[in-house]
Amino acid sequence: MENRCEEMRDKLLCLLGDDGFVSGERLANDLRVSRTAVWKQIESLRKLGYEIESVKNKGYRLVSRPDVPIPEEIISGLDTQIVGRGVVYFKALSSTNVYARKLVDDGVAEGTVVVADVQHRGRGRKDRTWFSPEDGLWFSVILSPGIPPQRGMMLTMVASVSVVQAMRDVTGLSPVIKWPNDVLIDGKKVCGVLTELDAEMDRINYSIVGIGVNVNNRLDEGLYEKATTLLEEFGSKVSRVQLLRCILKRFDENYLRLMEGDYGFIRDKWVSMSNIVDRKVLVRDDDKTIQGIVSGVDEDGCLILKTDSGTQRIFSGDVEYL
């Protein structure tokens, strides 16, 4: 029933278009439903935030669309092959990654995106908390890449590269990637990626790539020192719908490159968007720390570090620039 309604709402939005009035009769005829059914759908669209004017003897006119990442706004005309084939939207969830996991168990299609306006238990890496109030962009992409698990970091890289490209496209800003999963503007975190995997020895069965972007949201008091929002950096509100569509489009392109085995392409793009090579860093991983100079990032996404005791490959950790 819900699906049928969504389908009808989609068609209704197409028919309403963006200019002029369309009569209730014409809508009812084209949709092959009663005028009362049309009215009900118009009401449900209004509840979602669409402003629709209705004038006697003229019909309905779409005045404005909401900036809410509902499937109707995200999927229409998206033109991707895998990423964003389906979108599931919630006003609030505990965590989009957790819900995505449930959808995997239900056998949902690869590329499905779960998005929520608010997360009550948004997650970072290592059980850290991700602050996710309204007006941000919190979503997860379900993938089944079939690549070896040691290449799993490349999925985080695909996500970060796509976010940077989309932010450039939409705002003209130039964010920088910080290994392993941060996107920064002027040294402050604007986006974080949490990639979770289910794998066998030789292949990843599925992966959930969670992306959190501070768009027009406020930040927690304690975060302002090290985090920022696009609103703050761009100076005015950024459309979440436009940004999400753009991220998904870029994600699809980059993911397809990865599926073709072009790890070098993703790695090179990632490196060109980060400023980590040749930097002196301290990497913390649980209670271990290691210091050195970054000589590069390999095609598994590992950091190559020149240390006093030789070259080391770093798989995980948090980086501090020295």
Tell me the closest approach of the beta carbon of residue 90 to ligand BT5, in angstroms. Answer: 12
Please count the residues of the chain: 322
- Evaluated on CA atoms 128, 84, 203, 296, the torsion sign reads negative
181 binds ligand BT5 (CB under 6 A): yes
Interface region with ligand BT5, contact rule CB under 6 A, candidates 7-15, 123-131, 262-270, 299-307: 123-131
Please, which residue, 99 or 255, has the CB nearer to ligand BT5? Answer: 99
Please, which residue, 16 or 167, has the CB nearer to ligand BT5? Answer: 167
Interacting residues with ligand BT5 between 201 and 260 (CB under 6 A): 210-212, 214, 223, 227
Question: What are 40's two structure tokens?
Answer: 């009900």
- Those residues whose C-beta lies under 8 Å from the C-beta of residue 76, and which sit 6 or more positions away, are 10, 13, 14
Strands across the sheet containing 288-297: 310-314, 303-307, 288-297, 280-285, 318-321
Tell me the closest approach of the beta carbon of residue 180 to ligand BT5, in angstroms. Answer: 8
89 binds ligand BT5 (CB under 6 A): no
Q: Which of 54, 55, 47, 59 is nearest to 9 (CA)?
A: 47
User: What crossing angle do the helices spanning 240-259 and 153-171 adopt, rounded to 10°?
Assistant: 140
Tell me the closest approach of the beta carbon of residue 99 to ligand BT5, in angstroms. Answer: 9
Tell me the closest approach of the beta carbon of residue 300 to ligand BT5, in angstroms. Answer: 19
Interacting residues with ligand BT5 between 140 and 179 (CB under 6 A): 140
- Those residues whose C-beta lies under 8 Å from the C-beta of residue 244, and which sit 6 or more positions away, are 69, 74, 115, 137, 139
Paired strand residues for 129: 123
Tell me the closest approach of the beta carbon of residue 192 to ligand BT5, in angstroms. Answer: 2
130 binds ligand BT5 (CB under 6 A): yes
195 binds ligand BT5 (CB under 6 A): no
Residue 104 in contact with residue 170, Cβ under 8 Å? no
Please, which residue, 31 or 173, has the CB nearer to ligand BT5? Answer: 173
3-state helix, strand, coil in the chain (%, to 5): 35, 30, 35
Tell me the closest approach of the beta carbon of residue 165 to ligand BT5, in angstroms. Answer: 18
Q: Site residues (CB under 6 A) for ligand BT5?
A: 95-97, 119, 122-125, 128, 130-132, 138-140, 181, 189, 192-194, 210-212, 214, 223, 227
